[in-house]
Amino acid sequence: DGGITQSPKYLFRKEGQNVTLSCEQNLNHDAMYWYRQDPGQGLRLIYYSQIVNDFQKGDIAEGYSVSREKKESFPLTVTSAQKNPTAFYLCASSFIPGTAYTDTQYFGPGTRLTVL
């Protein structure tokens, strides 16, 4: 059963705590992405990675960190430095843009993070 999974689906955090969101894919994709979605807004790119042990900042990387130790996994840590972390977080994966006939992104089900 191929796909991309995220866990947990809902996450509650107290202010000042770091929290890590999980993202795993078995689609053999090299590229993985983290997006943040706020109500009524589009997806904003936080971080992306095209190869193991390498990743780049997106448009809103401040207060977030990532790692890419395995091709299949791309966890996102929301640190206490993120001023407004309550949001819906989406992980996606794809073939590296420009290397395949189609560069569509496959999304996970999302994690809704609420800071109390």
Partner 1 sequence: SQKIEQNSEALNIQEGKTATLTCNYTNYSPAYLQWYRQDPGRGPVFLLLIRENEKEKRKERLKVTFDTTLKQSLFHITASQPADSATYLCAVYNQGGKLIFGQGTELSVKP
Residues binding partner 1 (CB under 8 A): 33, 40-43, 45, 48, 58, 88, 90, 92, 97-98, 102-110, 112
Half-sphere exposure of 86 (CA within 13 A, CB side): 8
Rounded distance between C-alpha atoms, residue 105 and residue 52, angstroms? 18
C-beta of 41: minimal distance to partner 1 in Å?
6
Q: Rank residues 16 and 42 by Cβ distance to partner 1 and give the closer one.
A: 42
Closer Cβ to partner 1, 90 or 113, answer by number: 90
Q: Pairing relation of β-strands 111-115 and 10-13?
A: parallel
Residue 80 CB, shortest distance to partner 1, in Å, is 26
Q: How far is the CB of 51 from partner 1 (least distance, A)?
A: 13
- Within its chain, how far is the Cα of 42 from the centroid? 15
Query: Closer CB to partner 1, residue 33 or residue 64?
Result: 33
The answer to whether 26 and 2 have CB atoms below 8 angstroms apart is yes
Bridge pairing between strands 111-115 and 54-57: unpaired
Residue 9 C-beta: closest distance to partner 1, Å: 9
